[in-house]
Amino acid sequence: MDRSPAPRIAHTHELTAVERDRIRELLDTAFDGNFSDEDWEHSLGGVHALLCDADDRPIAHGSVVQRRVLHADRSYRAGYVEAVAVRADHRREGLGHRVMAALEHVVDTAYDFGALSASDAGAALYAARGWQVWPGRLAALGPAGPVPLPEEEGTTYVRPAAGRPLPEPGHPLQFDWREGDLL
């Protein structure tokens, strides 16, 4: 039986400035300097799952934020997973699974479904946890209307929230607009 502590769950407003700085440092390092200010902004304003070492330094992190998604004639509340990372010296210890389990609980209790955009390195984790590649089209609702996102197809994963079905892939998922990467 795993007796290691569960991830700390905290809304962005509950994190201190030092904690936020340390999380950003973890993400910058874990993504080899390829974690932009927009990526950071996308990870804020929601619920964070955080595991720290004995010195209170983050070793694993992920967050889930609300995104509005238009599908057919309905607007959904999607729990969008962002900024999942594990410090290099703690990879392959199951920490990514523990962070994802905590975030999936948030999705199950607060959202219509979960969604995320997976890197090549992260795709295996999400697939192993039952996340599925969205088989339909994707778009963002831009200021001038829908913007197709064919380059995101095949890397965007979805997961039904507990007891709720996923939208049917016959219509595109149209995500709310944001700066930087749209998904």
Let me know if residue 2 belongs to a domain.
Answer: no
Let me know if residue 99 belongs to a domain.
Answer: yes
- The domain in which residue 159 lies consists of 8-176
CB neighbours of 48 closer than 8 A, spacing ≥ 6? 8, 9, 10, 11, 12, 15, 23, 61, 62, 63
Q: How far is CA 23 from the centre of its chain?
A: 15
pLDDT bucket at 123, cuts 50 / 70 / 90: very high
12-50: pLDDT as tens digits: 999 999 999 999 999 999 999 999 999 999 999 999 999
97-122: pLDDT as tens digits: 999 999 999 999 999 999 999 999 89
Let me know if residue 21 belongs to a domain.
Answer: yes
Residue 48: its H or E element: strand 47-52
The owner of tokens 């984790």 is: 125
Q: What is the pTM of this model?
A: 0.95
CATH number at residue 35: 3.40.630.30
With vertex at residue 10, the alpha carbon angle to CA 33 and CA 182, rounded to the nearest 5 degrees, is 45
pLDDT on residue 5: 74
Let me know if residue 65 belongs to a domain.
Answer: yes
pLDDT on residue 96: 97
Whether pLDDT at 174 is above 80: yes
Strand 113-117 relative to strand 156-160, pairing: antiparallel
Question: What's the rounded Cα separation, in Å, for the pair 101 and 37?
Answer: 26
Let me know if residue 58 belongs to a domain.
Answer: yes
Q: Is the dihedral of CA 40, 42, 45, 50 positive or negative?
A: negative
pLDDT on residue 2: 54
pLDDT on residue 26: 98
Question: What's the rounded Cα separation, in Å, for the pair 161 and 69?
Answer: 15
pLDDT on residue 108: 97
How many domains are contained in the chain? 1
